[in-house]
Chain A
Amino acid sequence: SAVISQKPSRDICQRGTSLTIQCQVDSQVTMMFWYRQQPGQSLTLIATANQGSEATYESGFVIDKFPISRPNLTFSTLTVSNLSPEDSSIYLCSVDPGSSYEQYFGPGTRLTVT
């Protein structure tokens, strides 16, 4: 497994602003993922972020709204841009540290947009 931290753990933002979420892993991993969990729902994959390449976005998510950086093998950021109340959600990063397809999650960032 891996130890994953996220910052901030929660934030309240005004509409129209942006929030950048940081994800730090205690070991080098190739595969890193960003998910969204809306209230009362399960997880939806936003994008896959591999070091050294552009992030791959899932249907319904675009780079302009969710820019991602992956500068090295232990760190990634997700920015949620031009916030609206519909972006209120929990955002989680995860990593796949091996070849077993198992993923391990950070504690999440709870975003509320007012």
Chain B
Amino acid sequence: RKEVEQDPGPFNVPEGATVAFNCTYSNSASQSFFWYRQDCRKEPKLLMSVYSSGNEDGRFTAQLNRASQYISLLIRDSKLSDSATYLCVVSQTNDYKLSFGAGTTVTVRA
């Protein structure tokens, strides 16, 4: 079983729509959670860390469900510039190593 699993998508949504997707992680000892964004042929860039209480950054909302071992990302009022692959990333307690999901592709159309 993979450490981090994501729905690969693609999610094709019109501008202004809301899109949400999850990822699941296998290690219950995981302590740090992140969403990264990767544009085509570019490096991953940190979108947001995910905290136990959930957190919001503008149009982006991340949630963590430890009991079910999943993380979610919701994008409101989608923009064309939100088109990218979103990587779910998990690290263990006191371990700086990150485990990456395969990514969820989102395409926002005009």
Complex interface bits, B66-110 against A, C-beta within 8 A gives 1, otherwise 0: 000000000000000000000100010000111011110000000
Complex interface bits, A34-64 against B, C-beta within 8 A gives 1, otherwise 0: 0000000111110010000000001000000
B46 beta carbon closer than 8 Å to chain A:
yes
- Give Cα distance in the complex from A42 to B44, angstroms: 10
> Are A105 and B102 touching (Cβ within 8 A)?
no
In this complex, the member of A43, A92, A105, A107 whose beta carbon has the largest number of chain B beta carbons within 10 angstroms is A43
Number of residues from B at the complex interface, CB < 8 A: 17
Beta-carbon nearest neighbor of B2 in chain A: A42
> Are A43 and B44 touching (Cβ within 8 A)?
yes
Beta-carbon nearest neighbor of A108 in chain B: B43
- Give Cα distance in the complex from A92 to B96, angstroms: 16
> Are B96 and A96 touching (Cβ within 8 A)?
yes
- Give Cα distance in the complex from A96 to B34, angstroms: 13
B35-57 residues with Cβ-Cβ distance < 8 A to A are 42-46, 49
- Give Cα distance in the complex from A44 to B32, angstroms: 18
Interface residue tally on A, bucketed by range: 20 to 34
A contact set with B: CB distance below 8 Å: 1, 31, 33, 41-45, 48, 58, 92, 96, 100-108
B contact set with A: CB distance below 8 Å: 32, 34, 42-46, 49, 87, 91, 96-98, 100-103
* Additional pairs, 16, CB under 8 Å, beyond known A42-B100, A101-B91, A102-B34: A33-B97, A33-B98, A41-B102, A43-B98, A45-B98, A58-B97, A92-B43, A92-B44, A96-B96, A100-B32, A101-B32, A103-B46, A105-B44, A106-B43, A107-B43, A108-B43
* Interchain Cβ contacts under 8 Å between A and B, 20 examples: A33-B98, A41-B102, A42-B102, A43-B87, A43-B100, A44-B100, A45-B98, A48-B97, A92-B43, A101-B32, A101-B91, A101-B96, A103-B46, A103-B98, A105-B44, A105-B45, A106-B43, A107-B42, A108-B42, A108-B43
